[in-house]
Amino acid sequence: MEYKDYYKVLGVDRNADAETIKKAFRKLARQYHPDVNKGDKKAEERFKEINEANDVLSDPEKRKLYDQLGSNYQQYRQAGGDPRNYDWNQWARRQGGAQTAEQPFNFDTDEFDLGDLMESLLGRRYPGQQSARRPRDLEQPVQITLAEAYRGTSRVLSKDGQEIEVTIPAGVKTGSRVRMKGQGMRNARGQTSDLYLVIEVAPDATYERQDDDLYRDVKVDVFTAMLGGETTVQTLGGNVVVTIPPGTSSGKRIRLRGKGMPKLNPKGEYGDLYLRVMVTVPRELSDEDRRALEKIAKHYEA
């Protein structure tokens, strides 16, 4: 088995934190995804390699094992050694002598299964070894709009030359995972893993989302703000008529219950929509209007 530098595959430093690795993976996954590079075998292989690297480096335990094992494994292979005959106890001793609580390796060469170790690390086994383990799951980033997250939507993905339509339920958030059962990888025994769509909800120009609640600005003219009245407000679920209380000042919040985002659980429930009142004033006044306002202003002077 050829040693792969997974840090080099993702283009990150060996000391990169989890967030840096995540960002690098998403960027490369978008660039080399088969849907973007249809018919490009090199891009397809690169996409598989990127997923493999992310599978190891995004898992703290796998990454720790990879960091400890990787360079020694490479040197042993380059020297022509058979990994199935490698003295892992000797390797562990060279890494720090007697085992401590910080060292996870305590190999018994009579019972140790190299295939189990490498499969847990890389999701693959050596030729000639059997595995009953299911192949690892895959992740695919998908971006949707806030309106799509509100009403639910779908995406068509291409896999093995076939198009698969995936339903994305209403109420998903950034980080939500939509499972596509059996659409991941397939091993030699015919077992299949799952593919997860990792949702990213794009920022919206009108609404700000906080969990299942929404916030937006609404303009109210100064006369409606002073005297009270009604104004029509657009929501993701349609237009609603909102009552503005007399004496409403700029910055006041008005809560519209159940006009926010649909909740994933329990279904059928919604968050709230909060309106931030922005009081507007007329830019031009007639002489008559100005005199009337000046008269009113004098009346309310302290």
In order of their start, the domains of the chain are: 6-122 (1.10.287.110), 138-201 (2.60.260.20), 213-299 (2.60.260.20)
Percent of the chain at pLDDT exceeding 70: 77
Mean predicted confidence (pLDDT) in 63-69: 74
pLDDT at res. 2: 53
pLDDT at res. 89: 43
Do the Cβ atoms of 270 and 212 come closer than 8 Å?
Answer: yes
Contacts of 92 (CB under 8 A, 6+ apart): 99, 103, 105, 106, 107
Q: Name which residue leads in pLDDT, 51 or 88.
A: 51
Q: Which amino acid is at 17?
A: D
Report helix, strand or coil for 169: coil
pLDDT at res. 99: 38
Mean predicted confidence (pLDDT) in 57-81: 63
Mean predicted confidence (pLDDT) in 64-80: 56
d(CA 83, CA 1): 9
Confidence of residue 298 (pLDDT cuts 50, 70, 90): confident
3-state helix, strand and coil shares in percent for the chain, rounded to the nearest 5 = 35, 25, 40
8-22, 157-171, 213-227, 288-302, range with the lowest pLDDT: 288-302
Mean predicted confidence (pLDDT) in 225-234: 95
d(CA 179, CA 201): 17
Contacts of 121 (CB under 8 A, 6+ apart): 56, 62, 65, 66, 69
d(CA 294, CA 159): 72
Report helix, strand or coil for 159: strand
Mean predicted confidence (pLDDT) in 178-199: 89
Tokens of 129: 């070894």
Mean predicted confidence (pLDDT) in 178-189: 87
Q: Is the pLDDT of residue 17 over 50?
A: yes
Sign of CA dihedral 220, 222, 224, 228: positive
Q: What is the pLDDT of the chain when averaged over all its residues? A: 80
DSSP E strands in the chain: the ranges are 138-144, 153-159, 162-168, 177-180, 195-201, 208-210, 213-221, 229-235, 238-244, 253-256, 273-280
Pairing of strands 213-221, 273-280: parallel
35-49, 117-131, 136-150, 282-296, range with the lowest pLDDT: 117-131
Q: Name which residue leads in pLDDT, 67 or 95.
A: 67
d(CA 285, CA 296): 15
pLDDT at res. 170: 96
pLDDT at res. 92: 41
Q: How many residues does the chain have?
A: 302
According to DSSP, residue 85 is labeled: G
Tracing tokens 């030729």 back to the chain, one arrives at 127
Q: Name which residue leads in pLDDT, 258 or 131.
A: 258
Confidence of residue 301 (pLDDT cuts 50, 70, 90): confident
Cα dihedral 222, 224, 228, 230, rounded to 10, equals -150
Q: Is the pLDDT of residue 120 over 60?
A: no
